Copies of this chain bind each other. A is one copy, B any other.
């Protein structure tokens, strides 16, 4: 099997991959509270897991690499519930700028920032816009659960897509790290209990910053009680398949900027 993890390769092997114009997947997550039943690494673990599964699917046919996972992001909204390590935008930008500059200096050009945390979505759009121009390279970003939205909807029973510490995330954790899940605490923990902007305004087109603590006393949005490892496995594979499709889409990467 072809090794796809940057951190496990020797420098010369990585340089050879650059010479092949490999796609680099840079997984970005968060370390933050995930309710009473899930560990704080969920978003980092899952973005890395999806990235590796995607890369392994295509490695035989297309050069690809997965960097280590950026395990902290914009998680200010979780801080008041504890267990959370958060960056502000300037630090997050500086970190990704440093990494992407390194990649481009090492002669990689096709970079996919694979996001696993809702709080990073808008920030990553800004990051990609600025770095694509600075580095004159086809950077792209996606959040795996939005990319595989349709399939996720078919797999999940009580929600349409990934929320937070929910049926989807709990299922995926059960698939890859069941020892880190305490299902006894998942039962009956359904969120949110408090009203959300979207309820009040009737659309998600208005954005107001709100802490999770103000929305859900236990830190969960969604229904983790419906989670199963089998669903988790299917979700991860659906996500990996979708990400692999982006990586190998030659037309996508060669669209002029």
A residues near B, CB below 8 A? 6-15, 18, 31-41, 44-45, 67-68, 71-72, 74, 76-77, 79, 81-95, 97-99, 102-103, 105-106, 121-126, 128-130, 132-133, 138-143, 146-147, 149, 180, 182, 185, 194-195, 197, 200-201, 203, 205-211, 214, 219, 245-246, 249, 251-252, 255-257
In the complex, what residue of chain B is closest to A202 when comparing beta carbons?
B245
Q: Tell me the number of copies of this protein.
A: 6
Q: Which residues of B contact A133 (CB under 8 A)?
A: 76, 209
Inter-chain contact B140/A207, CB cutoff 8 Å = yes
Q: Which residues of B contact A45 (CB under 8 A)?
A: 7
Cα distance A88–B95 when bound, in Å?
Answer: 9
- Contact among B7, B40, B210 for A31, CB-based, below 8 A: B7
Inter-chain contact A14/B142, CB cutoff 8 Å = no
The 8 tightest CB contacts between A and B, nearest first, are A11-B83, A11-B33, A7-B41, A122-B125, A91-B94, A132-B209, A87-B98, A146-B205
- Take A94-B90, A207-B141 as given contacts and tell me if A84 and B71 are in contact as well, using a CB distance cutoff of 8 Å: no
Inter-chain contact A126/B129, CB cutoff 8 Å = no
Output the least CB separation between A27 and chain B (Å).
Answer: 12
Output the least CB separation between A165 and chain B (Å).
Answer: 10
Cα distance A147–B206 when bound, in Å?
Answer: 7
Q: Which residues of B contact A211 (CB under 8 A)?
A: 257
Q: Which residues of B contact A82 (CB under 8 A)?
A: 11-12, 14-15, 18, 106
Inter-chain contact B208/A89, CB cutoff 8 Å = no
Inter-chain contact B103/A85, CB cutoff 8 Å = yes
- Contact among B44, B84, B123, B200 for A255, CB-based, below 8 A: B200
Cα distance A95–B87 when bound, in Å?
Answer: 7
- Contact among B68, B103, B205, B256 for A143, CB-based, below 8 A: B205
Inter-chain contact A14/B83, CB cutoff 8 Å = yes
